[in-house]
Amino acid sequence: MNILETKGLTKIYGGLKANTDVDFTLARGKVTALIGPNGAGKSTFVGMVSGRTMATRGQVFFEGRDISKLPAHKRIQLGLAYTFQITSIFRGLSVYENVALAAGRTLAGTPRLLDEKVRAALQRVGISERSDQIAGDLSYGHQRILEIAMGLAQDPKIFILDEPTQGLAETEVDDFITLIRSLAGETTILLIEHNMKVVMGTADFITVLDQGMVLAEGSPKDIHENAAVQAAYLGTDVNA
């Protein structure tokens, strides 16, 4: 069953088409990767899905409801969480306070419930021992993990991760793959990623964008064997 669907999603800046008639689905409880060369329109497309970019035309459906006109904060309330390519933490606050602020956006309840939510999220991503540390003092890798904890604290129905492994060391990438595998089934994940090791190690399904349009979609095996995808990546080995 699909939790999200787009129909004819298009974004035009002046005379430039960033995305053209993108039909796309997200299967509930699965990890779907959105890949493509630089300039393929991935970030613009995800911006339209999340409400941070308004589409020129087309529709976005969430659990069967047309949310095309809803702003980003309303989509967050429905259950769409989004981490950015660049870390968007509150650097002067503690790790705990960062997650508490995120959880408070969607949680209506007592301070005790909020505390339980925060501690559960930190435990889930493996940084509970850093709860009192100032977020800006964390390593870059741990800042990215903190962002994931902030997203999880919102109990997302869809968790959009935009280039989450950018700038991570190899060991941190391995830890990220393990984390995403552990989250599979608990939430629906849309992963925008260039690291094909991460894509092939986590995704149940892959959609490839090229020049703002869907080039191919299918299982990791299907994408690996697709000649058009290989050409779009200029011969890049998708196992690299």
pLDDT tens per residue across span 79-126? 998 886 556 789 999 999 999 988 876 666 678 888 999 999 999 888
Per-residue pLDDT tens over the stretch 25-51? 999 999 999 999 888 999 999 999 999
Side-chain-facing half-sphere of 141: CA atoms under 13 Å: 12
Q: Of 202, 80, 98, which Cα lies nearest the Cα of 146?
A: 98
From residue 121, how far is each of 22, 126, 127, 148, 174 by CA, in Å?
34, 9, 9, 9, 20
Would you kindly state where each structural domain of the chain is located, as residue ranges? 1-79+156-240, 89-155
Reported pTM: 0.87
Helix ranges, 16-71 (H): 42-50
Q: Which CATH number fits domain 1-79+156-240: 3.50.50.100, 3.40.50.300, 3.90.420.10, 3.20.20.80?
A: 3.40.50.300
